[in-house]
Structure 1
Amino acid sequence: MPRFKDYRPAGVIPATLLALNEDLSIDAKETRKHLRDCALVDGVSAVTVNGHASEVHACTFDEQRMILADSLAEVGDKVPLINGVYADGSLEAAKIARMAAEEGASCLLVFPPNSMAMGGHLRPEMAIEHYKRIADATDLPLIAFQYPMASGLGFTFETLLQLFEDVPTIAAIKDWSNDPMLHERHVRTFQNLARPVNVLSTHSAWLMSSLTLGCNGLLSGSGSVIADLQVALFRAIQAGDLKQAQAVNDRIVPLSQAFYAPPFLDMHNRMKEALVLLGRLEKSFVRPPLMKLSEAEIGRIGEALKQAGVTRDGALPLAA
């Protein structure tokens, strides 16, 4: 049973990282410490595990179960846990969803199957069947992860509307459409449906611009490092305080530019290095095919942390 019954995804939701030992086994103690560091930030509404940020692509089913169980044991009584459903096949996705519900997750983040990359947007019934299989396995609320259309894994606007109608447990989308006009259309339409679907921004490279469109939250891997700054930005925008939002954003920009530089696939690798530089993680091992960053790039991350005013204990206070 979910620890937080009737949970509705909104607000600031960090996606947490995965600490590894030198032999690339999971360092459960360090992972739990990192999870606690993110979950207990004032203003964080939930945390996500078994997502891109925690290298779910390289984790077995049993490891995903262990990560979720450990996370629930650590902070499950304090914040809702959102568990990723990452699978190329719908039967495996349903299996993961069922496991997460049995363990006590409060919500599921559903990734598009990579098997749909070669034209799946032309067969919307594939997406609908995938989500129906998951919804049949659990009544937990679902977050649909919307990719850019250029990736081959995005769903058209019309397909999303059909998904919401056919799978009523979809409560939000994690919007990575990477198209400002489409993103705004999502916000204006989906949050005003008869059964509203929240838009959670994951446009972390242009977060302030995205949030000002009216998103009801954000779900971001960079929250693993700067959850406090994300909370401050979200609160300022919700309050209509442009000056404060700009001041917070000035702190975020150096890190967003460092984290989301090419190659984009290294974003969470960079966040892990940032936590080591800050003394919040002991080590920064990643599972292949991800590879260790160069010393020069790690140096650039260190400079970005200084520019952002981020320390071991969090972001330094904003200047008066």
Structure 2
Amino acid sequence: MTQTFGDRLRGIHAATIVPMMPDFGIDEAQLAVHLASVASTPGINGLLVNGHAGENFVLSLAEKRRVVELARAHVPNGCLIVSGVNHESSLEAAREAAALEQAGADGLLVFPPNSWALGHADGCVIEHHRRIRDATTSPLMLYAAPVGAGAMAYAPPLLEQLIADRRFVAIKEGSWEVATYEQNLRLVHKLRPEFVVLGSGDEHLLTSYLVGSAGSQVSLACVVPELVVSLWTAAEAGDWERARAAHEKLYPLAVAIYRDAPGGRATVRLKACLKLLGRLACDAARPPQPPATANELRALEQALRIAGAL
């Protein structure tokens, strides 16, 4: 029986980074190796490219398209490729979505524009998603932003309107707060039981899996894919002792990458981890992000040792 897009979303999907050269141009050779290596890890069912970890807010459309093309060319057959769509303009977001679909993405994840954090009318959100829907034919995913991201996080009445559109079949639930995650999960499944909910708060994957989840799209899986897979497989089997053991190894790394102040440093820290592990020659991230500090590097190295990666 042919699997649906929703079926293929189940399990662990790695949100990948984009290696840069010292002049901040994309290192295509390193990118191809990164994509192929992560996607070839047993238990990794797909990739999320052009996500936040992939610096989608500072890449041009041509660069985002090239990321999808390289993923399509270098990942194993059967690996699901979802591309993020992120633009402040709804018209440009629609053009971007169509181009990424044409480049080979199996599905598209619609990120809320950053300006929405300051406030927006619900009609703006609906219109933005409608423009992308009408420009494409691929399965579409919603993104639930962290509760700390201001008005970017969709309130239940707005989420209900969004999931009423049948072109949207899944949500990357990144509320980053357990109570909101469960609230959204219950709302979605009450209205559309088949709708795929991916628990994607890297710090509380274990909790998400206990409450209920079809899997995750997470950037932790581009650094320690085997460990994230082991957490998922243990949880799916109901082996909570083994899942807790994997969580204990993952948690310090999640904190060092995502929680430790200052905020907004995840991509820099992910790249620093990959360089510490010898998988990346240059850990440059595009400005305005400065390189990892000595304190960040110490915390990341210690966390990688706890995770068993170093």
- State the TM bucket, normalised to the shorter chain: over 0.9
Secondary structure at the counterpart of residue 46 of structure 1: strand
What TM-score comes out, normalization by structure 1 length? 0.91
Give the one of 197, 200, 218 matched to 1:199: 197
Given the superposition, is the C-alpha separation of residues 23 and 194 from structure 1 closer, same or farther in structure 2, using an over 3 Å criterion? closer
Matched letter for residue 31 of structure 1: L
Aligned residues: 305
Cα contact 1:190–1:196 (8 A) shared by 2? no
Alignment partners' CA distance in 2, 1:55 and 1:149? 21
2:118 is the alignment partner of 1:118 = yes
Aligned to 2:249: 251
Identity of matched residues, %: 32
Given the superposition, is the C-alpha separation of residues 220 and 194 from structure 1 closer, same or farther in structure 2, using an over 3 Å criterion? closer
What TM-score comes out, normalization by structure 2 length? 0.94
Given the superposition, is the C-alpha separation of residues 307 and 76 from structure 1 closer, same or farther in structure 2, using an over 3 Å criterion? closer
Alignment partners' CA distance in 2, 1:309 and 1:135? 43
User: How far 1:76 moved relative to its partner?
Assistant: 6.1
Aligned to 1:314: none
Matched letter for residue 283 of structure 1: C
Aligned to 2:284: 285
Secondary structure at the counterpart of residue 54 of structure 1: coil
Alignment partners' CA distance in 1, 2:74 and 2:13? 17
Alignment partners' CA distance in 2, 1:220 and 1:149? 17
Cα contact 2:36–2:76 (8 A) shared by 1? no
Aligned to 1:21: 21
Secondary structure at the counterpart of residue 125 of structure 2: helix
Alignment partners' CA distance in 2, 1:54 and 1:194? 30
Matches within 5 A, 1:192-271: 192-194=190-192, 196-260=194-258, 261-271=260-270
Cα contact 2:227–2:246 (8 A) shared by 1? yes
Root-mean-square deviation (Å)? 1.6
Secondary structure at the counterpart of residue 143 of structure 2: strand
- Residues 144-168 of structure 1 show CA distances to partners (whole Å, capped at 9, x for unaligned) of 1111344221111111111111x21
Aligned to 1:315: none
Alignment partners' CA distance in 2, 1:242 and 1:125? 42
Aligned to 1:73: 73
- Residues 213-234 of structure 1 show CA distances to partners (whole Å, capped at 9, x for unaligned) of 1011111111110121111111
Alignment partners' CA distance in 1, 2:193 and 2:95? 27
Secondary structure at the counterpart of residue 101 of structure 1: helix
Deviates more, 1:240-249 or 1:194-203: 194-203
Aligned to 1:300: 299
Aligned to 1:159: 158
Structure 2 segments unaligned to the other structure (5+ residues): none
Matched letter for residue 18 of structure 1: V
Aligned to 1:39: 39
Alignment partners' CA distance in 2, 1:162 and 1:206? 27
Deviates more, 1:185-194 or 1:145-154: 185-194
Secondary structure at the counterpart of residue 82 of structure 2: strand
Secondary structure at the counterpart of residue 275 of structure 1: helix
User: How far 1:178 moved relative to its partner?
Assistant: 2.7
User: How far 1:196 moved relative to its partner?
Assistant: 2.3
User: How far 1:211 moved relative to its partner?
Assistant: 1.7
Aligned to 1:133: 131
Cα contact 1:50–1:85 (8 A) shared by 2? yes
Stretches (4+) displaced over 3 A = 191-195
User: How far 1:299 moved relative to its partner?
Assistant: 2.1
- Residues 79-130 of structure 1 show CA distances to partners (whole Å, capped at 9, x for unaligned) of 011111000011111101101111121011110012323221xx21111111
User: How far 1:78 moved relative to its partner?
Assistant: 3.6
Cα contact 2:163–2:188 (8 A) shared by 1? no
Cα contact 1:32–1:71 (8 A) shared by 2? yes
Alignment partners' CA distance in 2, 1:271 and 1:106? 25
Matched letter for residue 176 of structure 2: N
Aligned to 1:52: 52
Structure 1 segments unaligned to the other structure (5+ residues): 312-320
User: How far 1:50 moved relative to its partner?
Assistant: 0.8
Cα contact 2:198–2:213 (8 A) shared by 1? yes
Secondary structure at the counterpart of residue 310 of structure 1: coil
- Residues 292-315 of structure 1 show CA distances to partners (whole Å, capped at 9, x for unaligned) of 01123212211111111014xxxx
Secondary structure at the counterpart of residue 12 of structure 1: strand
